[in-house]
């Protein structure tokens, strides 16, 4: 089975220390944390682009892994949009159309806005086949419609491990398990929906529902709306 294991991991970044133990199996995992809580450090360790000071990170059954960094310009390797798409092993035309950049294959990626770069990068991710997909603040630079569309794609995946590291509080996907980073410590809250009442960093809309005695079945907007309808009824 595909899995990602953090076993007694400690990683120091200056005065900050990340501590993590847990197993991530197939499904969608939400790792929530405030700014500076260690989400990017955790993501880089999960992807294997950095190593812990102690403990181990083990990946089983992972043939293809992708780390989506918070700033899309950090991914750029191509001199043109077509070259950038090809660096993912993809054909440019359908990906550029998906990103709303059709007809701009020869444009310089650095001429795009950050939002356009984000759409291009996420279109490349959606077209790929990943056993392990780690998304570090994937909603940055997206408008509400784009967030909703990407959340639907995340929630619709049926294979592999998806880890969403974010402090997003407005639009979230359907997830299978909840985790929090508290003061540098990774805390496993458990499966959804059982874990939702234990979610200390829950967005205001979720907290209000739980306080009113209605635990949503999941975190997508339609799940919150369904729970709110039960409250009004």
Joined together, the tokens standing for residue 173 give 């996907």
- What is the pLDDT, as a whole number, of residue 159? 87
pLDDT of residue 233: 56
Section 45-50 average pLDDT = 95
pLDDT of residue 95: 96
Would you say residue 152 has pLDDT above 80? yes
Q: Where are the domains of the chain?
A: 3-64+132-193, 68-128
Q: What are phi and psi of 10, to 5 degrees?
A: -135, 135
Q: What is the pLDDT of residue 114?
A: 85
What residues are paired with 180 via a beta bridge?
A: 32, 187
Share of the chain above pLDDT 70, in %: 99
Share of the chain above pLDDT 90, in %: 81
Q: Judge whether residue 194 has pLDDT over 60.
A: yes
Mean pLDDT score across all residues of the chain:
93
Whether the predicted pLDDT of 82 surpasses 70: yes
Q: What's residue 220's pLDDT? A: 95
- What's the fold here for domain 3-64+132-193? Rossmann fold (3.40.50)
Mean pLDDT of 211-230: 94
The tens digit of pLDDT for each residue in 55-81 reads 999 999 999 999 999 888 888 888 999
Interstrand relation of 185-191 and 177-182 (parallel, antiparallel or unpaired): antiparallel
- pLDDT of 28 higher than 80: yes
Query: Residue 131: is its pLDDT beyond 90?
Result: yes
pTM: 0.94
């Amino acid at each position: 089975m595909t899995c990602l294991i953090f076993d007694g991991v400690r990683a120091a970044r200056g005065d900050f220390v990340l501590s993590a133990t847990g197993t991530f199996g197939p499904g969608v995992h939400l790792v929530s944390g405030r700014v500076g809580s260690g989400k990017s450090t955790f993501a880089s360790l999960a992807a294997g682009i950095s190593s812990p000071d102690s403990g181990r990170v083990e990946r089983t059954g992972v043939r293809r892994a992708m780390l989506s960094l918070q700033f899309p310009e950090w991914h750029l390797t191509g001199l043109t949009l077509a070259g950038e798409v090809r660096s993912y092993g993809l054909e440019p035309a359908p990906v550029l159309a998906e990103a709303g950049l059709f007809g701009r294959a020869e444009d310089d990626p650095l001429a795009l806005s950050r939002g356009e770069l984000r759409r291009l990068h996420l279109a490349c991710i959606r077209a790929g086949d990943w056993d392990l997909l780690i998304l570090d603040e994937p909603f940055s630079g997206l408008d509400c419609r784009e967030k909703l569309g990407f959340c639907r794609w995340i929630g619709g995946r049926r294979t592999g491990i998806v880890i969403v590291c974010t402090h997003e509080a407005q639009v979230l996907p359907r997830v299978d398990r909840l985790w929090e980073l508290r003061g540098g410590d990774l805390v496993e809250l458990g499966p959804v929906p059982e874990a939702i009442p234990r979610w200390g960093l829950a967005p205001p809309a979720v907290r209000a529902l739980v306080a009113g005695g209605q635990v949503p079945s999941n975190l997508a907007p339609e799940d919150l709306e369904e729970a709110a309808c039960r409250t009004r009824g």
